[in-house]
Every structure is written in structure tokens, then in C-alpha cells.
Amino acid sequence: METEKELTIADLNEKYPAALEYLTEIFLIHRDYGLVKNSVIAKRLGVSKPAVTQAMKRLKKYSLIEQDLYGSILLTPAGRRVAAKVLKRHYLIEHLLIHQLDYPWVKSDEEAARIQATLSDEFTDYLFEFFNRPDFCPHGNPFPGSVSEKKTLSAPRLSSAVSGTRGLIVRITEEGEVADGLLQFCYENRMQPGVEFVILKTSGDFVTVRLGEIKIDIPSGIADFICFTE
């Protein structure tokens, strides 16, 4: 049944903690790909399809999502507000961990996910001002509603680039941040936002790039999650 008062992150974290993960995942899938299906959520979160079906029932009960006749999932305005707020917290914690505490760039996404539900709005606002209202997380993902959001999301993936392309890495997607070993690979090969590259060769399996003096073969499964601008 619909509640009168809009649920806060703290309310949801108490009543149904998994809701936060589902809502942000739906937000991110929609932001990158448009259509959100039960099966895609299941794959991205590593849970079964029946588990997602159950979760969607609960989120519908809280009026946080809607589903059309074909099963596509959409956040309601209230669901979007929760997801955008959680992501904002997540990105700010990543800034705090990396830029103030020297915590590894590779591990900060995972740690931020553990902490994000417990932040207060006041501390979130404080961090936002402290870091001068950033547009991106330290992996290049845009804050929801930031001026650069649309442009950053339209940046092509490295896997689609042709040889000879010169560009600048702008983003490791959220999907990439949680893929096994992907951030570690990027870190070890200095493939982070702001780094320039030249594509030397592309094949079905690898994209070969030059970063400074170094030549790297990037598996296409990784290049799919790295975005660039020319």
C-alpha cells in the first residue's frame, strides 16, 4: 500500500535494505541502456530471476517502481529520487576515500557501497561542498543531474573505436567498476579518466592501445566498459 510520507533512504534501509541496491541498479541500467528488464537486473546483481520478481513486487508496494505490460521496469519519481541520492552519496564517499584517505582507487567502489546507506543528508551536503560540487565520481561516472551527465553518458566505448583514434579516457562505467578484476586491470595499466591514448589495432578479441610509451592489449570484455572522447 502506498505510504503518505515519502520514504527516506534511512527508512528504506531499515525496512528493506536490498531496495537501495535494486533502485540504483535500475537507475544505472536505464541511464546507460534505456530498457530495464528483470533478467538484466538479475544478471547485474548476480541474483536469480525469481528473486528479482519478488523484489519488484515489494518496490511496487512502496510505489518506487512501475512495470509496463511487457515487463519493462521504470522508477517512479520517488524511486528516482532515492536512487539519485544513493548514487550521490556513493560518489562522494569514493571521493572521500580516494582523495582524502588515500584509499585505493580500485577498492573504493566496494567500500562506498557498504557505507552509503548510513550517511546523513547533512553530511552528504557537506561532502558535496567540500569537494567543490563535483560532476563525476573518481572513475568518471557523472553525478545524477550534473551538467556533464548527458555528454558523459554519450561518450563511446573503447571497444567501438577504430585504429588510429586518438582520445582521452573519460569513464569506467558503473558496470565495469563491479566487474571482476576490471578496475585492477585499468589501474595497473594506468587507464584512468584523463589519460590520453592512441588505438594501434583492433581485432575481435582485443583493442591494442598506446598510452605514452606503453602498448597494452585490452580484452574487448574490458574495453566495453571504458568510455572516451576524441
**What is the three-class DSSP state of 167?**
strand
Query: In angstroms, what is the minimal distance from the CB of 171 to Fe ion?
Result: 9
> Interface with Fe ion includes 137 (CB under 5 A)?
yes
Stretch that binds Fe ion, among 2-10, 79-87, 136-144, 192-200 (CB under 5 A): 136-144
> Interface with Fe ion includes 139 (CB under 5 A)?
yes
Stretch that binds Fe ion, among 49-57, 77-85, 90-98, 206-214 (CB under 5 A): 90-98
Considering beta carbons, is residue 62 or 105 the nearer one to Fe ion?
105
Task: Count the site residues for Fe ion by CB under 5 A.
Answer: 3
> Interface with Fe ion includes 81 (CB under 5 A)?
no
Region at 42 (left for phi over 0; alpha for psi -120 to 50; beta for the rest): alpha
Mark out the alpha helices in 71-190 (DSSP H runs). 77-95, 108-115, 121-130, 149-153, 174-178, 182-188
Query: In angstroms, what is the minimal distance from the CB of 141 to Fe ion?
Result: 5
Stretch that binds Fe ion, among 62-70, 86-94, 150-158, 191-199 (CB under 5 A): 86-94
> Interface with Fe ion includes 88 (CB under 5 A)?
no
Q: What are the strands, taking DSSP E only, across the chain?
A: 65-67, 73-75, 166-172, 196-202, 206-211, 214-219, 226-229
Query: In angstroms, what is the minimal distance from the CB of 226 to Fe ion?
Result: 13
> Interface with Fe ion includes 171 (CB under 5 A)?
no
> Grid coordinates standing for 107?
577498492
Considering beta carbons, is residue 137 or 186 the nearer one to Fe ion?
137
> Interface with Fe ion includes 96 (CB under 5 A)?
no
Candidates 20, 188, 13, 193; CA nearest to 95 is 193
Region at 218 (left for phi over 0; alpha for psi -120 to 50; beta for the rest): beta
**Distance from C-alpha of 28 to C-alpha of 84, rounded to nearest angstrom:** 10
Considering beta carbons, is residue 194 or 204 the nearer one to Fe ion?
194
Is the CB of residue 88 less than 8 Å from the CB of residue 15?
Answer: no
Q: Which residues bind Fe ion (CB under 5 A)?
A: 94, 137, 139
